[in-house]
Structures are given as structure tokens and as C-alpha cells.
Copies of this chain bind each other. A is one copy, B any other.
């Protein structure tokens, strides 16, 4: 691993553990085994380092969410979305901890926001379409609710990864959507 990558990984770990504001660049340099100046040579400033971390993570998400864009039958697509979302969080815990922190920092989101917004709308549109095909009375609200459920589950998992029953919740949620009739109106 190059020094540049080493800095990125160390910073991600420390930002996730301690928070962006509470992590001095001096600590990142020390734990990455490089001089502090090198951080600024490679990433310009501390915010640039954060942007690089978020950019790299987003690339991975894009890659992972693309394959299942193809049209499965609606119920399978919904189950797949649940599985994939939870898998991402489980496999990239530090990254998602950082993302959740950033959600409450209006000032830092600057550049990342429009892209993330578009990404969300994209998924929400696909999900709504699937619920509509299943005959749901209010497909947009169904999509929002599923979003909220995954958000809440992953949030609580990230707070206590060792004790939270993530597997059980995943299966429980998938089963609920498998059994749901979605035919509320005659």
C-alpha cells in the first residue's frame, strides 16, 4: 500500500472512531507512519482528505448497486435492495459511521450533496415503481418507509455492532415484504 493510500485508510478509521473534528492531522500522520506535511501535499487540506474518503466510498456503493438495477420481479428487487443495503453497511462499517456523522454537518456536505441527492432520488424512483407494480396504494410512501427502515436498522447496528441482531432483522424485514399483500384498496 502506498503512503497516499495509507493516509486515506488511517484517516477513515480515525474519523469513524473519533469524528472528523476531533481527529487532528498530526494523529493521522503519526498512526499512518508518515510526516504531517505529506497529508497536505497529497490532499491539499483536511477537507480534501475527507472528500477523497467519501469519494472512494461512493464509488464502491455505485459499483455494488449497479448490478441489480436490471429488472427483476418487484418482490425480488425489493428483497435484493434490502440485502444489498445491509451488506454494504456490514462490510464497510467505518465508512458508514463517517457518512452518518456527516449527515448532520450541513457545512461539510457542500460538494457531496448534489450527487448523493441524485443517487437517493434514483433509488427512490426504482423502489416506488416496484411498489406500484405490486399494487400498493401509496407507492411513494412505501418507498420512503422502506428507506427509513433500512436507515434506522443500519443506524442502530452502527451504534452497537456487537449486540445488534442484524441478521435477524434483515430476514425479518425481507419476510415482511415477502408476505405483505399491498392490496389495501379494493
Contacts and interface: CB of A to CB of B under 8 A. Distances in A.
A22 B97 CA distance: 19
Q: Which of A19, A21, A97, A148 has the most CB of B within 10 A?
A: A148
Interface in A1-36: 17-19, 21-22
A38 interface: no
A141 B155 contact: no
A154 to B, nearest CB: 9
Contacts of A21: 19, 21-22
Interface string A136-149: 00100100110111
Interface residues of A, number: 35
- Counted per complex, copies of this chain come to 2
A150 B106 CA distance: 22
B159 A141 contact: no
Chain A contact residues: helix, strand, loop or mixed: helix
Interface in A120-175: 138, 141, 144-145, 147-153, 155-156, 159, 165, 168-169, 172-173
30 contacts: A17-B106, A18-B107, A19-B104, A22-B105, A22-B107, A97-B104, A100-B104, A101-B104, A103-B155, A103-B159, A138-B172, A141-B165, A141-B168, A141-B169, A141-B172, A144-B165, A145-B153, A145-B169, A145-B172, A145-B173, A147-B152, A149-B149, A149-B152, A150-B152, A151-B152, A151-B156, A152-B152, A152-B153, A152-B155, A179-B184
Interface of A: 17-19, 21-22, 97, 100-101, 103-107, 138, 141, 144-145, 147-153, 155-156, 159, 165, 168-169, 172-173, 176, 179, 184
